[in-house]
Amino acid sequence: MTNTVNHPSKVTVHFVPDDMDVQAPAGTRLLDIATTSGADLTFGCKKGTCGTCRVRITEGLKNLSPCAREEQDFLASLGSPNTERLACQVRVLGNVSVDYPE
């Protein structure tokens, strides 16, 4: 018997500052969801080295792809709490709420 895990095919991202809910395919990068939806999320390098796209996950932190070592180290160097991620590095696997500076 094969053990399967059910993942949603679509996820909902709530962008707190824009008070906007956006549906997207599960596994999409958060930055891609933000840019295609018109969310007012600032970004820079798109490679995880500038920190401009740093966001705070207010709900659904467990619904994101695991934090790679490079992202962990970079966020730690900025003194970021564990609820922050880089939108250019994280993929959304389930419903989340995201906050960021306006």
- Given CA atoms 94, 42, 89, 35 in this order, what sign does their dihedral have? positive
Residue 45 structural domain: 10-99
* CATH value at residue 88: 3.10.20.30
Res. 101 pLDDT band, cuts 50 70 90: confident
Is residue 55 one of the residues assigned to a domain? yes
Q: Is residue 3 part of a domain?
A: no
Give the number of domains in the chain.
1
Query: Is residue 2 a part of any domain in this protein?
Result: no
64, part of any domain:
yes
- pTM for the full model? 0.90
Q: pLDDT of 34-70, one tens digit each?
A: 999 999 999 999 999 999 999 999 999 999 999 999 9
